[in-house]
Chains A and B, each alone.
Chain A
Amino acid sequence: MKEISLHILDLMQNSIEAGASWILLEVNENEDGFLTFSITDNGRGMSETMLKKIRDPFVTTRFTRKVGMGVSFVEMTTKQSGGNLIVKSKLGEGTFLKASYLREHLDRPPLGDIVNTIKVFLVTNLKLHFVMHYYVGKAKFTFDSKNVKKFLGENIDFSYPEVYSWLDEYLRQEINEVRKAGGQK
């Protein structure tokens, strides 16, 4: 994967395939010198045995289609850039996953187009309750798809061109604000 944002998209797809109806995405462009993201979902979760296997690409891809190469890819890119990947999961409750990358590491992939990731993800998962906390240091922006629904009403969703165009511009604007507030350009 060329961008961390693509890993995020891939891992959120895992949550969907695990039956999640709610996903919390947290991104921090600068958490004490690390670029971090975490995904928490209320999907079906994994057993202890499965949890031990998901980092192995060969065991897992054949074992089930729910989690595959994606997790091992993420772990590889985090480790190459002085970070790590934490995965916690409980069967029937959900999964939590947090990836950290040393910000200034030469091998750290760029964050990439996070807005595109979110837009594409929301347009294809219309029923999902998606919450995002976007941080740069302590500066924070929160996006909650429930709030959007409240303004739009029940019968209009992200699949309308006018709505996803709005989403694109709105997220870019708000994330730029957080970057300014958090001291990033």
Chain B
Amino acid sequence: MKSLEDLKVLREKLQADIRVRENDGTKIIIGMGTCGIAAGAREVMTAVLDELAVRKLKNVQVQQTGCIGMCEKEVLLDVVRPGEPRITYGNVKPTDVKRIIADHVINGHIIEDLVIGKMDGGEI
């Protein structure tokens, strides 16, 4: 049984993580407009959250964005690593998520066959 009381324990446990998280700029951004959601963005995001939890990746920020006008390529998922260009992946399926996280988010290797865009500057 889970209860709100569990959160007190988590609060203590997580104090040590707080500083670690503030020092990184790794982000995963998922398109969550109507088009994205209809194409399966919620399932892709769930897969991302599950994978981050399993791998205990604490420094990755997960964000959402609205429709950016490439509805036919949804689900769109962007990866930003500190100091590197922002990479946009298109037609992302939940089954692609493990690969994106292992190869790109962790190891920095862009998955060329899924890429549909690259934006320099990284900062959003």
Could you list which residues of chain A lie within 8 angstroms of chain B, going by C-beta atoms? 1, 6, 9-10, 13, 17, 65, 68-70, 73, 113, 116-117, 119-120, 123-124, 147-148, 151-153, 155-156, 159-166, 169-170, 173
Contact = CB atoms under 8 A, between A and B. Distances in A.
24 contacts: A6-B38, A9-B32, A10-B34, A13-B33, A65-B67, A73-B34, A116-B43, A116-B46, A119-B49, A124-B64, A148-B7, A151-B4, A151-B7, A152-B7, A152-B11, A155-B18, A156-B11, A159-B61, A159-B62, A161-B49, A162-B13, A164-B49, A165-B53, A170-B6
Contacts of B14: 156, 160, 162-163
Contacts of A165: 53
Chain B contact residues, majority secondary structure: helix
Nearest to A172: B2
B112 interface: no
Chain A contact residues, majority secondary structure: helix
Contact of A173 (B2, B35, B45): B2
Interface string B52-90: 110011100111101100000000000000000000000
Contacts of A156: 10-11, 14, 18
In the complex, which range does the number of interface residues on chain B fall in?
A: 35 or more
A98 to B, nearest CB: 19
A166 B10 contact: yes
Given A116-B46, A120-B42, A161-B56, A166 B62 contact: no
